[in-house]
């Protein structure tokens, strides 16, 4: 094996959280950089969680509005075609928001 491949194994193992024997613990500036990166990662995850929650709440308001306006237009015969399209769009938003996004989020996280 070449030296670069020998260096790759401990790097990959450390990246996925496996302890490697005889690995020097970071000291000084390395520890500071690791601490900063860890804090940055945790803050980023927290921010993205808040953004995800806000987006899902906005989508919920959108599909409730689509469904209500669609039903109103469809059954009052003011715009049957538009009402039907709004109902279909609202149902599609419900399916995506309540079923598909949580499944994909569960697979990733």
Domain ranges across the chain: 25-108
Is pLDDT at 54 greater than 70 in this prediction? Answer: yes
- Range among 9-23, 36-50, 56-70 with highest mean pLDDT value: 56-70
Is pLDDT at 72 greater than 90 in this prediction? Answer: yes
Is pLDDT at 90 greater than 80 in this prediction? Answer: yes
- The better pLDDT of the pair 12, 78 is held by 78
Question: What residues have CB less than 8 Å from 106, skipping those under 6 apart?
Answer: none
């Amino acid at each position: 094996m070449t030296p670069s491949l020998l260096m790759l194994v401990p790097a990959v193992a450390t990246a996925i959280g496996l302890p490697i024997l005889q690995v020097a613990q970071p000291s000084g500036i390395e520890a500071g950089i690791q601490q900063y990166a860890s804090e940055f990662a945790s803050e980023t995850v927290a921010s993205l969680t808040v953004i995800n929650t806000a987006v899902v709440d906005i989508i919920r308001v959108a599909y409730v509005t689509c469904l209500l306006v669609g039903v109103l237009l469809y059954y009052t015969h003011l715009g049957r075609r538009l009402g039907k399209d709004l109902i279909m769009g609202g149902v599609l938003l419900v399916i995506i928001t309540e079923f598909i996004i949580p499944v994909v989020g569960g697979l990733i996280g």
